[in-house]
Structure formats: C-alpha cells, structure tokens
Structure 1
C-alpha cells in the first residue's frame, strides 16, 4: 500500500490517526496539525513514513508519532523520517531507521512547500459547509 496525506488541517481537539499506517508507505506532506490527544501519526506492522513540510503544534500530547504495539522494541527497524517539518509548543517527531524518499514515479511527483507556508496553504481546508439550497 502507498498513500499520500497532503494539504489537510487537523484540529484542534483531534485524538489520533492522522494517519495510522499498517505495512506500506505513507508520504505525509504539507499538513497543519493543531493539537492532538494521543498521537498525530501512528503505525503498526512496520510501515515506512516520510513526513515532509508539516506544521505540528502540540497541545496536551507532545509526541507526534506512535508505533504500535507500544514497547521497547516497537518500531526499532522501521523507517520514519521527518524532513522540513516545523514543531511548536514542544511537539516531537521520533525518527527511526534511515531516510526515505517519496515513493512516486515521475508523473506522480510534486514539490512540497516549506512548513512556514502551511498555515496559508491549508487556511480553507476542512469539511464542506453545504445547505439544502447550495450544491457542494
């Protein structure tokens, strides 16, 4: 499995799974994380994660990442890498393994912007606001 999570605004008051990955590869790029309760990015069964150009602002929980099952050896051979992310209010991304590159072919590739631009990039992100009279 390969997945890209891009240009989203998560929070405030979210809990977890933004995303949670099993096996496979995830490129998490240019998202705005405005607080989380348990973790922002989680995984199990040895996934590879490339976090790039995201803005993480901690609220109650500081750890951005969580490897499951929890324990001393959980995730020790996994490849989770942060590149160009910005961390505020004590947010921490635990890197493991070697650096990873986005897993795209030349037709799927796109440039990631700086984490300093994520607030403006995601200012209109979120659920659609629809009414019975207006089409979404």
Structure 2
C-alpha cells in the first residue's frame, strides 16, 4: 500500500502524480494540485495491461486550474471521492481501456459550463471505461456525459481498511480550499474544520 497525503504541487511538464506499472492500493488524499496541462495519470498507456489490477483512491483533494487528467484512469479501478474541482480546461475526469471509475460526492465548479468527462459531438475516442457518478455536486453548468453504461465492478475491499467514508458536499469546497496541501500553521484550524464537517 502507498499513501500520498497533504502534498502541494504544481507547474510540471509531464503531470504531478502518476500511478503506473501495476501499482495496487494507492491512496492520494488531502493534496492541493494545480498544473497548466496534465495533473494525474492512473495507468500508463493503453497497452500496459499490467495495470488491470490497479486500485487507486483519490480522496479529499483540491484540484484547480488544470487542463486535463484530474485524474485520467486506465485499466484498473479508481474511486474518486470528496474532491473539489475548480476551473479545469478540456476535461476533469477521464478514462480509457476498461477503467472502472466510481465518482462519489465531489464538487465540480468550472469557470464556464464544462463537461466533467472528455466528451464532445463527434467524439471518436476510446469508450470502454465505465464512470458512475453518485452524489456529485455540479455547479456553474458543469455536466456529466458518458458513453459506456455497463455495470461498475467494485473491487472486494476489506471494509473500513481501504474504502474511505463519503461525506456531504455542502462544506467540501471551503474545507479543501483551506486545508488541502501542506498545512503548516493551519493544522489546528483544519482539524477543527474537518471534525465539524464529519
């Protein structure tokens, strides 16, 4: 298991976080991530079948002003829960080659009405990923359009060990803007905010 927590990162040429080469049981949480183009890649390429068993949880992160891949998932299972997305470019959440993506109780707030997923009229890309949205808050005209409606296959996680709790979206944006990333002097304030929210 790998846990990446409370990282602040931005402005990288190739993206900020990549989970590739068959990595299993990775959690990325409480991070503040912004990048001019790519943000997070889960599964290296369409041909890397070694990523079929990848399981990644993307939990309570603040994603701001990234063009795409927030994250982009290939092959494995991605649980994207309680994140705050603000001002993305081309798309926020993407998937390819049979990825299973469970998008739960996130806040999506674009600057102008934007697709959450990489869809547009005449789209000819890979449509084999399954994305299920549950309890997401879509602001400023944000919308989900997806193409593969086969049932999502959730992995058999050990309850309470891998599967994080999902909390309501009503105070999520405020908390993550203030408390995602490196905390420094804000540590006590953020603990109080998190406790009140939960």
TM-score range, shorter chain: 0.7 to 0.9
Distance between the aligned counterparts of 1:94 and 1:115, measured in 2? 21
SS of the equivalent of 2:98 reads coil
- Point out where structure 2 has 5 or more consecutive residues left out of the alignment: 1-53, 185-198
> Structure 1: which 5+ residue stretches go unaligned?
130-136
Q: Is residue 88 of structure 1 aligned with residue 139 of structure 2? A: yes
Alignment TM-score, normalising by the size of structure 1:
0.79
Aligned partner of 1:134 in structure 2 is: none
TM-score normalised by L of structure 2: 0.56
Q: Give 3-state SS (helix, strand or coil) of 2:131's partner.
A: strand
Structure number with higher helix proportion: 2
C-alpha deviation, 1:34, in angstroms: 0.9
Contact 2:95 2:129 in 1 (8 A): no
| Number of residue pairs the alignment of both structures matches | 126
Residue 41 (structure 1) aligned with residue 93 (structure 2): yes
Residues 101, 31 of structure 1: CA spacing in aligned structure 2 closer, same or farther, 3 A cutoff? farther
Counterpart in 1 of 2:179? 124
User: How much is the aligned-residue C-alpha RMSD, in angstroms?
Assistant: 2.4
Which has the higher relative contact order, 1 or 2, with Cα contacts under 8 A spaced 6 or more apart? 1
- 1:117 Cα deviation (Å)? 2.8
> Once the 2 structures are TM-superposed, how far is the Cα of residue 35 of structure 1 from its aligned partner?
1.2
Structure 1 position 102, deviation (Å): 5.0
